[in-house]
Amino acid sequence: MRQWQVSPDAPFFIYRCLSSKAATTELVEGINRMKNTLCFLLLAAVIGCSGSGATPQTELKPPQWAELDALSSESVRSMMMGAEMGDWNAVKTEAASPEFKAIVDAFASTDVPEEFATDARKRAKDDAAKKFQALIEAGGGKGSIEDTYQAAQESLAAVRAADPVE
């Protein structure tokens, strides 16, 4: 086992460094700066946490209803995965499926629930429903499927945007 040995000159070296006027002055100034910084941070924390000007935290509540949730269900996830991988033929196949058509028809036929109903959300829901209908009907090449899918997802994101809870 190796043991640490202190040089006999170490205490003398430390004493010399600390006893010089320049080293002592820098050390004292450094300690004073640290005290000032600590006081400032403590004061800022007290004012920031308990001040009357503190803004209340607002909770965001995303809209939820069964028909909206169905658009992100297991039956639609294979379409989303196909789009993420760039497999637009898979997206086209899934969009033409009767299950997806039933989900889109249910979404299009329902109104936005009262607790989430805003004019912007109602417009976004109607727009998303039209774009998902267009996705079902899209029979063109990759470009029209890709563009229609992207547009439908953007409209759906606007429907799902969270509202602040008061």
Q: Residue 156's CB: how many other CB atoms inside 10 A?
A: 20
> Can you tell me the distance from the alpha carbon of 145 to that of 130, in angstroms, rounded to the nearest whole number?
14
Q: What tens digit of pLDDT does each residue of 98-120 get?
A: 898 999 999 999 998 988 888 88
Burial of 138 (0-12, 13-18, 19+ CB in 10 A): buried
The helix or strand, by DSSP H or E, that contains position 135, with its residue range, turns out to be helix 119-137
Q: Would you say 63 and 159 are in contact if contact means Cβ atoms under 8 Å apart?
A: yes
Per-residue pLDDT reduced to its tens digit, 38-70: 666 666 666 766 555 555 566 677 888 889 888
Cross-strand pairs, 165: 59
pTM, entire model: 0.60
> Confidence class of residue 73 from pLDDT cuts 50, 70 and 90?
confident
Q: Are strands 59-61 and 163-165 parallel, antiparallel or unpaired?
A: antiparallel
Quick check: helix, strand or coil at residue 147? helix
Distance CA 14, CA 22 (A): 14
Tell me the angle at which helices 142-160 and 88-95 cross, rounded to the nearest 10 degrees. Answer: 70
pLDDT of residue 61: 78
